[in-house]
Amino acid sequence: MKTTTTLTALTLALLASTAQAEIRLGASLSATGPAAFLGDPEAKTLEMLVEEMNANGGLNGEEIVLTLYDDGGDPNKARTFATRLIEDDGVVAIIGGSTTGTTMAIADLAEDEGIPFISLAGAVSIIDPVREFVFKTPHTDRMACEKIFTDMKAQGTTTIGMISGTDGFGASMQAQCKEVAGDYDITIAADETYGPADADMTPQLTNIANTDGIQAVLNPGFGQGPAVVTRNYAQLGIELPLYQSHGVASDGFIELAGAEAANGIRLPGTALLIADILPDDDVQKEVVTSYKAAFEEKTGQTVSTFGGYAHDAFALMTDAITRAGSDDPQAIRDALEATDGLVGTTGIYTFSETDHLGLDLSAFRMLEITDGGWSSVE
């Protein structure tokens, strides 16, 4: 053990000519560019947590040094930065990849170089098939579909209409939902789409409303699309229940769609979103309230699910490094895979050899928008 530490320290010293008593973490996030709404809170969260941990004596008594690059959502840049992190900055672990594209660019490299890597992106393909060094914190689209369909089934809904964005998120979730709908005896009778920058979806919604037998409507998408859909839904006076995805699980959505139009919408979200109304005995209560309070005080911005992904990645990584007792990448990876019941803001993580996501459906809470706020329907 001692030799490994010394060796690693030596290697580090050679690579980056750094002092010995520090643990070097790397991150490549999309803090600017089209995915900035993901990367911006993620970057702020990581910086905040590192600062906090160092102020409290660091990790294993060593200071954490975070090297954070902004890849602007560009997979090519992400790959360059990942190379730089590993070769020049000599990091022992990488957090990042705000989007699936940037994640994939980093994942191959991390896998080849044997550096543990926790992604903050959604796609199932990141961890399926399992790669030795690649983990991720956000739940998948498929889980969101399953959560929504579970709720629909409980309401006795069997026939639904879907209206999905054609952006990456919407298209991916649309495909996943269509794949799992059969497992819940749900028929998708109408399947419409819209462009991510469209300003009016009344034609698509009119067609859905005119399709026979539809009992509910599901709208996978993020950004402005779901807000426009919600407003058009109210404009047309459609009475059927409307389900949105976890892509819009933020207070900003209610504001954009208007509290009146958004009333009664159901969507799967994380405990973080309803931190204030979680019962005190909820196992995630403490984690989400303390992260929310710290983030909002530090940045003045409302906390988002995406920042929560970064929080969880950092918690998983530091927990693994503590248990590994060293900053050897292989030891960190092994400790990471042995994570059991770590409570994060997104859910409770238990990794295994075959599961590098470690969340189940309980990570999602079915939420309803009532009077401009969130309430839990479970």
Partner 1 sequence: MESLLQFLFSGLTVGAVYALVALGFTIISNASDVVNFAQGEFVMLGGMITVFAHEAGVPLALAAVLAILLTAAVGVALNKLAIEPARGAPVVSVIIITIGASILIRGASQLIFDKQLHRLPSFSGDAPIRIGGATLLPQSLWVIGGALVVFVALWLFFTRTLTGKAVLATANNRLAAQLVGINTRAIMTLSFALSAAIGALAGVLATPITLVSYDVGVALALKGFAAAMLGGMGNPKGALVGGLLLGLFEALTAGYISSQYKEAVAFIVILAVLFAMPQGLFGAKSTERV
SS3 category, 17: coil
Q: Would strands 93-96 and 22-29 be described as parallel, antiparallel, or unpaired?
A: parallel
**Cis-peptide, bond into residue 129, ω within 30° of zero:** yes
Alpha-carbon dihedral 293, 25, 76, 88, rounded to 10 degrees = 150
Tokens (6 digits) for 55: 């102020």
Task: Please report the sign of the dihedral spanned by the C-alpha atoms of residue 346, residue 32, residue 249, residue 297.
Answer: positive
Whether the CB-CB separation of 67 and 43 falls below 8 Å is answered with no
Residue 133 to residue 333: CA distance in whole angstroms:
6
User: Binding segment for partner 1 among 31-39, 173-181, 284-292, 334-342 (CB under 8 A)?
Assistant: 31-39
Decide: is 262 part of the binding site for partner 1 (CB under 8 A): no
- The residue among 37 and 184 lying less far from partner 1, judged by its C-beta, is 37
Q: Under the criterion CB under 8 A, does residue 260 sit at the interface with partner 1?
A: yes
Q: Does 197 sit near partner 1 (CB under 8 A)?
A: yes
By CB under 8 A, the count of residues binding partner 1 is 35
| Residues written for the chain | 378
**Residue 237 is a binding residue for partner 1 (CB under 8 A):** yes
Give the HSE-up count for residue 303: Cα atoms under 13 Å, Cβ half-sphere. Answer: 27
Q: Minimum distance between the CB of residue 35 and partner 1, rounded to whole angstroms?
A: 10
Q: Tell me the backbone φ, ψ of residue 219, rounded to 5 degrees.
A: -125, 90
Tell which one of 4, 210, 322, 352 touches partner 1 (CB under 8 A). Answer: 210
Q: According to the binding rule CB under 8 A, does residue 204 interact with partner 1?
A: yes
Nearer to partner 1, 237 or 279 (CB): 237
Rounded to a whole number of angstroms, the minimum distance from the CB of residue 194 to partner 1 is: 6
Nearer to partner 1, 227 or 278 (CB): 227
Q: Are 332 and 239 in contact (CB under 8 A)?
A: no
Residues 177-196 that bind partner 1 (CB under 8 A): 192-195
Question: Is position 37 an interface residue for partner 1 (rule: CB under 8 A)?
Answer: yes
Nearer to partner 1, 153 or 178 (CB): 178
**β 373-376/187-194 pair status:** unpaired
Minimum separation from the CB atom of position 34 to partner 1 (A)? 7
Tell me how far apart the alpha carbons of residues 289 and 371 are, in angstroms, rounded to a whole number: 22
Report DSSP state, residue 303.
Answer: P
Which residue carries 């092994």 as its tokens?
Answer: 334
Question: Rule CB under 8 A: is residue 207 a binding residue for partner 1?
Answer: yes
Tell whether residue 114 is a contact of partner 1 (CB under 8 A): no
List, in order, residues 6 or more apart from 257 with CB less than 8 Å away: 226, 227, 230, 231, 265
Closest approach, Cβ 298 to partner 1, in A, equals 17
- CB nearer partner 1, residue 133 or residue 306: 306
Among 150, 224, 263, 376, binds partner 1 (CB under 8 A): 224
Contact flag: residue 231 with partner 1 (CB under 8 A): yes
Q: Which is nearer to partner 1, 206 or 375 (CB)?
A: 206
What CA–CA distance (Å, rounded) separates 12 from 65?
Answer: 13
Q: Which residues bind partner 1 (CB under 8 A)?
A: 32, 34, 36-37, 40, 166, 192-195, 197-200, 202-204, 206-207, 210, 223-224, 227-228, 231, 234-237, 252, 255-256, 258, 260-261
